[in-house]
Structure formats: C-alpha cells, structure tokens
Structure 1
Amino acid sequence: MAAGAECDVVMATTEPELLDEEEAKREAESFKEQGNGYYAKKEYHEAYNYYTKAIDMCPKNASYYGNRAATLMMLGRFREALGDAQQSVRLDDGFVRGHLREGKCHLSLGNAMAACRSFQRALELDHKNAQAQQEFKNANAVMEYEKIAETDFEKRDFRKVVFCMDRALEFAPACHRFKILKAECLAMLGRYPEAQSVASDILRLDSTNADALYVRGLCLYYEDCIEKAVQFFVQALRMAPDHEKACLACRNAKALKAKKEDGNKAFKDGNYKLAYELYTEALAIDPNNIKTNAKLYCNRGTVNSKLRKLDEAVGDCTRAVTLDDTYIKAYLRRAQCYMDMEQYEEAVRDYEKVYQTEKTKEHKQLLKNAQLELKRSKRKDYYKILGVDRNASEDEIKRAYRKRALMHHPDRHSGASAAVQKEEEKKFKEVGEAFTILSDPRKKTRYDSGQDLDEDGVGMADFDANNIFKAFFGGPGGFSFEASGPGNFFFQFG
C-alpha cells in the first residue's frame, strides 16, 4: 500500500507536467507554422512575432532560433540574427542551416574570417552543400578585397579602395567598417555628397558612431567649412577620445583656420610681407585640403600682385585653379595680372572662362575690355611711336612729330649703311602714320576705341610720309640737311 501510494503520489505530481510539455510543443509548432506562412508571404515582422512565440514556448528548439535568424536577416537586422543563429548551433551543433546562417551574418557584418569558420563547419557536416561552398568562396573574396584595399589606402590609391569596398559590400551590406572606409576615400577624392550620404546613413542607425562623425567632419573640412568641421571632429573625439584621424584632422583644421585668419588680418592692415609669410605657412599644414589651399594660393597671389610681383602672382593663381578649376576668383585675379603685364591673349582666355561660368554684366565688360586691349596690342602703338601718352594735347602731338620726323628723315641718314637707311626710312614712315592718325580727331577717336581704321574711309590708303612731312614743314625748300662731318647733320631752314 505504501509503495503503491508513493507511486500514485508520483503519478499525481508528474503527469500534468508531461501533458503541459507536450501541449507546449504542439503550440510552439503551431506558432512556427504560422511564422512560416508569413515568411513565405514576405511579411517578416509577423513571421518574427510568431517565431518569437514559438521560442517562448520551447526555448531549446534550434530550428526556431534558426527560423527567426532567417527572418531577422531579411529585415536587415544582422547583428540580432547572428545571436539567434549562434544560439541555434549551440543547441544543435549538427544544424547545418544554423551554421550557414551564422556564417552569412558574420559575412554581412564584415567579419569574413569568422564567416569562413562557420561555412567550414557546415561543409564538415555536409561536404556537398553547394550553398556552403559558394559562401565560403564569397568570404575568401571579401578577405582578399580587404587586403588589397588596405595596401591601396597606404598608396593613396583611393579609387581602387572604393572599388574594392564596393565589391566587398556586395557580400557584406551591413558592414559599417567597409562603408566608412569607402566614405573616407570618397572624401579624399572630392566626392563629398556621396561621402556625406554614406556617413549620414550610418549616423541615422548609430548617432554615436565616431568614424561616421569623423567622415562628416572630413567632408566639411575639405569643402572649406572649417568651423563646422571642427564641431564634428570634437564630437567624434567625445565618442572615441583616442580616434587618431579625428584628432589629427581637428588639429589641422584649427591651425588652418587660425593661420588663414591671421593672414587675412595682415593683408587688411597692409602688411603684405607678413600676409605672404602667413599664407605660406598655412599652405604647409595640409596638402590634401584642396579647396582651402586653392583659396590660400589665390590670397597669396593677391599679396604678390600688391607687391608688384606679377609673375609670382600668376604662378599662385595658376596653382589655385589647378587645385580647383571652378574657382572664379583665382581666374579673375590671374586675368588682372595678365592685363597688368600686357599679356592680353592670356587675359582674354581667363575672362572667357569666367564669363562662360558666370554670365554677369561685370564679367562681360571685363572680357570686352581685355579683347579691346588685345586688339590694340596687335596694332602699332602710335602713342609710343611719337613718344607721347594717351592724354597728349594737339600741340604736344605736333611737337613730338616734329622731333621724331626730323630725327628719322631719310636725308639725314643718306651717308649711313644701307641697313641703317632702311631702318630709318621705316621709322620715318611710322612717325608720319602716327601723326596722321593722332592729329585727326575722327581717326584718333576710332583708333582709341579699337575700331578698324579702314572702315568708312578713315584708313591709310592715301598715306604718304613725305607728303605729310612737306605739308608740316611748309613744302620744298623749307629746310635742308647739310653734313658737317661724317655722320653729323644739321638743319637749315629757308
């Protein structure tokens, strides 16, 4: 009786537990099936909920974790999926799909080495598994892309790094590390909007990501928004005080800002020598900051132009537009230097570039002025021939003609060599031509405005230097040249 009673007692205490366990299993299977149905319809959030219910009913069933891992992967939540996949293989090391999903999560997150271990284990369990074979190759490919990218980054071959990261991200779409490296290289290549976009996507998921904050700052820094860049660098250093790149970039940004501002102040104060030195020091801080350095070169070019070192000014402006071929201010500064140097063809070329970019009235007028000076430069400079300036009076022009005409008259050089006679005759004609134009108000106006003198009958078709000379000095017999020794002449007026 006692033994039987004891058995009854045992039966009475264990039978309900066994029934509850079986019921839990049946209910868990029901949840799993419903989850499978939602998964098949791509309603992953609902599938996730039902797989979670199944796990709650039977927390030691490997397949439930495996199914939920697959659902989380479809939702792009690879880190959570990795946890479920790892739990599934802890519960059942022979669960091939569990190892495959664990490897896939590792690979998606950019841990190719860990992914290889998971795929190798899947192959140990099923050496003919085609998925495991392919994924193992993919993981090795990612490791190779990482290796190449690391080498190319050191070589500063940023385009190659971007290419490698794009290929790696095809297999590791959730790897922030790969995305950050790509974004950093895009910034180094000047592709700032793309780099900003990548960094912003990461920050939306993780606002404390120091690497993403650094890249955002880097883009602003290279776009010459230095003050804003410093804010991002400081924020990155709050998240990761030992972030070397952010620390260096922050230091460079602050130094550049200070040197540039000091240079600007010296320039405004008229201390051009100090401004030149400060801009030069600023240029040595970071050769990679193209936009800021372009401005610094242009600023230094302006200093050189103030110091009348026009060749140096042109050189600095050329460096500026080499760094940034959209930098209008540098083209304008260089064009003005070319104008001051009377290199009008070069000035016209720069003003044309400016006007093509920004079609303003001011730029149009600058181009027109340069084109006029170019046209003038290709004609004879009658003012220079007579030795007078552009504001010379009528009397000054006459006196200049008298002096130059007598100086170069062929009779005065009749005893010289044939070469000298020819050269003096040429100069005599040019002096007469200059006087003909500058002594006639209509012709002078057209000449000064750069118009063609042959238009409207204002040209030199009937020009004769001797006739001009005779008319000016009163015709034949008005004077004569007499020699008073070899190469010496004096005038006798009748």
Structure 2
Amino acid sequence: MADTLIDLEMAPTESAPEIVDHNEEELAEIKKETGNQLYKTKKYIQAIPYYTEAIELCPDSPSYYGNRSACYMMLHQYKEALEDARKSVLLDPRFVKGYIRIAKCSLALGDITAAENAISFVKELEPANTAILPEIKKIEVVRRFEEEAKKAYLKNDYRKVVYCMDRMLEQVPCSLYKLQRAECLALIGRYQEAQEVANDILHFDKQNADAIYVRGMCLYYQDNVEKAFSHFQHVLKLAPDHTKAMDIYKKAKLLKQKKEEGNEAFKSNKLAEAYALYTEALKIDPYNNSTNAKLYFNRATVCSKLGRLNESVADCTAALSLDPNYLKALLRRAKNYMELGEYEDAVRDYENVCKMDKSRENRRLLQEAKLALKKSKRKDYYKILGIDKNASTDEIKKAYRKRALVHHPDRHASASSDEKKEQEKKFKEVGEAYGILSDPKKRARYDNGQDLEDLEGMGSEVDPSTVFQAFFGDQYSFGNGGFTFQFG
C-alpha cells in the first residue's frame, strides 16, 4: 500500500486566542492539531502520542480514533489501525472515513470479506464517494487470484501459487499472502527466499506462528531435523490447532525414525529389511528433497551389495535429480556403470566427479574408466577364441586349432557369398587373436590396454592363411580351391 497521506479530521483553520484555563475538549483539540502537524511532516511515530492524549481527554470523539488510525496505517501497523477505525464507526455509525479505513486495513490484513462489508457501508452512506474505487479494484484482482491460488494449491502446483501470491501482493502488502507465498517457496526448494520472508515478518511479530512454521519447514527440508522439531513445537505451543505444523511434525518424526531403522538394518547386514525400510521412508514426504536424496543413495548402496546393479543405477539417478551435487551418489553410479560394462557412462560420471573433487583417487578412477572404455572398443581376442583371460599357452593353441578349422574359407566354399565373407572375416580375426595372445609381450601389452591401435594393426598385417599353414604345417593341403580336412 503506497505511503500517501490519508485525510485527517481537521479543526477550523482560524486560530483561537490562547486561553490559560482550557477545558478538556479544548485541550484535546490542541493535542489533535499538534498530532496533525506532525502527521503532515510524516513524523507519524511522534504524532501518535498526541492523538492518544486527545483520546484520553475525549474518549467519545470518533475523529481522534480516526486520525490515530490514519497514522498507524502510514506505519503499516494495520491491526492497530483497524482497531481504531472500528472504534470510530462504533462511536459514529455514519463516519464514512472510518469505514474507508476499515476497508483499507482489512484488505491489507487479507480479510477480504471485512473489506467488502466496509465498502458496502460507504456505498450506502455516500453512494457517490470515489475514495473507495481503488479498494474495489484491488479486491477484484485479489479475489480472482485468490481463487486460482486455492485451485493450484489443491493440485500441488506450488509454483502457480507463488505466481498468484505475487499478483495479490502487488495490490496489498498482506502478511498472510507473504507467508502463503513463503510456504510454497519452501515446497519448491527455494528455501533462502522463504526464510527471508519469514524472518522479515518475525522482525515485527516475534510470535507469528505461521512465520515460525515456515522457518521450521525450511530447516526440515534442508535435513536440519532437530532444529525443525523445536520450531514445530514452538508453533504448536502458540497455536495448538495449527494443522499444517502438526502434520509436518508427524512426518518429520516418522521420516527420521524410518531412516534410522534402515541404517541399523544395513549395519547389521539385513539388506532386504534395509531395502524395505528405505522404500517406506521414501513414501513419507515427497517434498523433502534433501532427506529423500540420501534415502535413494542408501537404497542404491543396498541394491549394489545385492548385485542389483541396474536398480542401484536408477536410485543413484533419482538421488542426483534431487541433489545434482551429491558426490557419493555420482561415485556409486559410476562404479555401477563400470561393473555393468557401460564405460562411456562411467567416464562421463567420473569426469563430473573430478569437476567436484579433483582428488588423486578420483583422477585415478577416471583414468581407469577411460582405459576400460578404450579396451571395450577394440576386438576382444579372448572372446574370439572362446577362452578365459587367464588361459594358458596350450589352451590358446587348442582354441586356435578349433576355431581356425571351423572358420577356414575353404570349408565354406559352397556357402552363399555373404556367408563366405562372414567366415573369411572370422578366420582373419582368429588369426589376429592367436598372433597377439600367443606372443607373451604382445599379450601383456594387450591386457594392459597399451598401444591398442598398434596391436590391432600388427594383427591385421598377418596373413591368416600363413598363420594357419605355419600352425598346422602340411597336415592339410590346398589346391585349386579345394581343402581336405582330416578329423580324428
């Protein structure tokens, strides 16, 4: 509400001669006029005591209450202003300025119905009065957005509520609307803004239960549970029927309990029980992002220990969606990706880890992931020969003998063109694999991921038929495309 001077009830402008023995009414008028002069120079705090003295001298004068009400309004002390305005119309039911002030104060305090009732009295007493037109327009806007805000709140569309409250606050500086806005800011994770609103209100009204409730919400959603508990308890002492404070207090206690029970089960290696408890806890309050992120991470750890790596990845992803800077969740997901063989995803996660924390250990993990990714993109010679990575020299030879005979092109001379090409490719790969794995030095470099491109190059330069001939000697003969196999 703009700080514009509000009309006061003025005494006649002609000055009266000074009288030594003033009666109470005359003295009251002098006090009022002194207050008026201070009011005109915007010294509202200094003016109030003079109006109060005038009221004490003549408690049945509606104009004195009216002037003090106007002064309180300029100081944004709308409760006190409303009380005086109501007293003024009680003394004079036809005091139009009193009803106008009731309308303004009620609107500022968020009591739209009271403001509308006061306006109806003004219209009845002075149908042509235009002083109430701004309030009528404000009420229309507030009513419209108030209805939209109620619908949005029921749908949990808290961003829409914030938008509506902003539009309403453009019309009236209502603490009630500010606190409703702050509550929704907390529900969408804008805790600092919500706390600032609550703190501003508590600066003037230290026992405002709704403001304390909002501060408690912010603490609770930032996982500062013990301080949140003390705030909710304070709210319930001030307002035992504060339903929202009671509901969130119960949720906070239950959430803390379930999380601790899950942690105890995990420490006791009761993994299935821990998983169930974390799952229960996640259902308690979907708006507590901080605690829920930790619950998702805890459950991801359980899944990892149970070998349910894909579930663990999903829970880490859920934790990171709630807290993008959750380093432990990022490390856990990267480790899962490594175990699943999804090296590109692992490299991406470890790169993000190193952006957050460039420790030696994290840099080492990133290099391991990059090496694993590089290895994954080359040919798997062990797989080509169908052997284990710890296979002996004899096992490598036996595997080559078997695979080379299976895939030699001459064995597939009568096959289709596509099939011949496929078998020639496999025969070549078998020769490459044998050429690398049968050489201890090349095999060691291959296993360590060193010079991978060079290793594949070396293998591809070898004529697979030459390798085959060298391996088998004259046991098999070639001639005019014919090939004789001797199987024992």
What TM-score do you get using the length of structure 2 for normalisation?
A: 0.84
In 1, the alpha carbon distance for the partners of 2:347 and 2:134 equals: 62
Indicate how the Cα distance of structure 1 residues 458 and 443 shifts in structure 2: closer, same or farther if over 3 A, else same.
farther
Q: Structure 1, residues 89-113: CA drift from partner, whole Å, max 9, x if none?
A: 2333333322222221111111111
The aligned counterpart of 1:375 is 374
1:7 alignment partner in structure 2: none
Aligned AA for 2:384? I
Aligned partners of 2:69 and 2:85 also within 8 Å: yes
Cα separation, partners in 2 of 1:380 and 1:137, compared to 1, 3 Å: same
Change in 2 beyond 3 A, CA 1:41/1:359: farther
1:35 paired with 2:35, answer yes
Q: 1:38 to 1:259 in 2, by over 3 A?
A: same
Aligned twin of 1:134 = 134
Partner residue, 1:308: 307
Partner of 2:486: 490
- Matched residue of 1:35: which SS? helix
| Distance in 2 of aligned mates of 1:472 and 1:312 | 48
Task: Give the match for residue 90 of structure 1.
Answer: 90
Amino acid paired to 2:286: P
For the 8 Å contact 1:208–1:239, the answer to whether it is kept is yes
Q: Deviations over 1:327-360 (max 9, x none)?
A: 3333332222222111222323333343444444
1:443–1:458 CA contact under 8 A, matched in 2: no
> For each residue in 1:32-86, what CA deviation from the matched residue of structure 2 results, as whole angstroms up to 9, or x when unmatched?
3332232222222112233223333433333222222111111121111112222
Give the structure 2 partner of residue 193 of structure 1.
192
Q: Give yes or no for contact 1:443–1:453 (8 Å, CA) kept in 2.
A: no
Alignment of 1:174-213 (within 5 A): 174-175=174-175, 177-213=176-212
Counterpart Cα distance in 2 of 1:481 and 1:241? 99
Aligned residues between the structures: 465
User: What is the letter of the counterpart of residue 68 of structure 2?
Assistant: R
Structure 1 residues 458 and 422, CA gap change in structure 2 (3 angstroms): closer
Correspondence list, 1:101-180, <5 A: 101-175=101-175, 177-180=176-179
Aligned to 1:15: none
| Counterpart in the other structure of 1:6 | none
| 1:233 matched residue in structure 2 | 232
| Alignment partners' CA distance in 2, 1:390 and 1:42 | 89
Match of 2:5 in 1: none
Q: What residue is the counterpart of 1:385 in the other structure?
A: 384
- Which secondary structure state, in structure 1, belongs to the residue aligned with residue 150 of structure 2? helix
Taking only aligned residues, the RMSD between alpha carbons, in angstroms, comes to 3.2
1:38, 1:47 within 8 Å by CA — same for their partners in 2? yes
Q: 1: distance between equivalents of 2:407 and 2:143? A: 86
Give the 5 Å matches for 1:376-415. 376-390=375-389, 397=396, 400-401=399-400, 404-405=403-404, 408-410=407-409, 413=411
Q: Distance in 1 between matches of 2:299 and 2:484?
A: 55
Residues 376, 88 of structure 1: CA spacing in aligned structure 2 closer, same or farther, 3 A cutoff? same
CA spacing shift, 1:306–1:39, aligned 2, 3 Å: same
CA distance in 2, matches of 1:466, 1:258: 71
> Relative to 1, partners in 2 of residues 1:239 and 1:91: Cα closer, same or farther, differing over 3 Å?
closer
Instruction: Tell me the residue number matched to 2:219.
Output: 220
Q: Is the 8 A contact 2:89 2:95 kept in 1?
A: yes
Q: Once the 2 structures are TM-superposed, how far is the Cα of residue 114 of structure 1 from its aligned partner? A: 1.0
In the TM superposition, residue 219 of structure 1 has moved relative to its aligned partner by 2.2
Secondary structure of the corresponding residue to residue 132 of structure 2: helix
CA distance in 2, matches of 1:221, 1:453: 53
After TM superposition, the structure 1 = structure 2 runs for residues 63-82 of structure 1, keeping only pairs within 5 Å, are 63-82=63-82
1:480 to 2:479 alignment: no
- Structure 1 residue 179: deviation in Å? 2.6
Please report how far the alpha carbon of residue 450 of structure 1 lies from its aligned counterpart in structure 2 after TM superposition.
3.7
Stretch of structure 1 that moved more, 99-108 or 447-456: 447-456
Shift, 1:391, TM fit: 5.1
Please report how far the alpha carbon of residue 185 of structure 1 lies from its aligned counterpart in structure 2 after TM superposition: 1.4
The unaligned stretches of length 5 or more in structure 2 are 1-18
Calculate the TM-score normalised by the size of structure 1.
0.83
CA distance in 1, matches of 2:419, 2:75: 95
Conservation of the 8 A alpha-carbon contact between 1:236 and 1:243: yes
Select between 282-291 and 303-312 the one with higher mean Cα deviation: 282-291
Partners of 1:45 and 1:52 lie apart in 2 by: 12
The partner residue of 1:417 within 415, 427, 452 is 415
Three-state SS of the structure 1 residue aligned to 2:486 is: strand
Cα distance in structure 2, aligned partners of 1:165 and 1:332: 41
Partner of 2:254: 255
Superposition deviation, residue 369 in structure 1: 2.3
Q: Deviations over 1:420-466 (max 9, x none)?
A: 65444333321221233344566445544445545699745632223
Cα distance change, pair 389–231 in 1 and its aligned pair in 2 (3 A)? farther
> Does 1:270 find its partner at 2:266?
no
8 A contact 2:476–2:484 mirrored in 1: no
The change in CA–CA distance for 1:66 and 1:361 in structure 2 (over 3 A counts) is: farther
CA change 1:491–1:136 in 2 (3 A) is closer
1:20, 1:127 → 2: CA distance?
A: 44
- SS class of match (1:156): coil
Residue 47 (str. 1) matches residue 47 (str. 2): yes
Work out the CA distance in 2 between the residues paired with 1:132 and 1:52: 27
- Tell me which structure has the larger Cα radius of gyration: 1
Q: Distance in 1 between matches of 2:453 and 2:150?
A: 70
Say if 2:431 and 2:459, in contact at 8 Å, map to a contact too. no
Deviates more, 1:164-173 or 1:373-382: 164-173
Closer/same/farther in 2, CA of residues 184 and 344 from structure 1, 3 Å limit: same
Q: Deviations over 1:368-416 (max 9, x none)?
A: 32222222111101232234444556666556545544554445x3676
Aligned-partner residue type, residue 138 of structure 1: K
Q: Which amino acid aligns with 2:61?
A: N
1:332 is aligned to 331
Task: Provide closer, same or farther for how the CA distance between residues 429 and 363 of structure 1 changes in structure 2, counting only shifts above 3 A.
Answer: same
Structure 2 residue aligned with 1:14: none
Q: Where do 5+ consecutive residues of structure 1 fail to align?
A: 1-18
Indicate the residue corresponding to 2:351 in structure 1.
352
Name the SS of the counterpart of 1:376 in structure 2. Answer: helix
What is the rounded CA distance, in whole Å, between the counterparts of 1:55 and 1:24 in structure 2? 11
Distance 2:170 2:55 in 1: 32
User: 1:116·1:140 contact (CA, 8 Å) conserved in 2?
Assistant: no
Separation of aligned partners in 2, 1:22 and 1:91? 24
Shift of 1:173: 1.8
* One-letter code aligned to 1:147: E
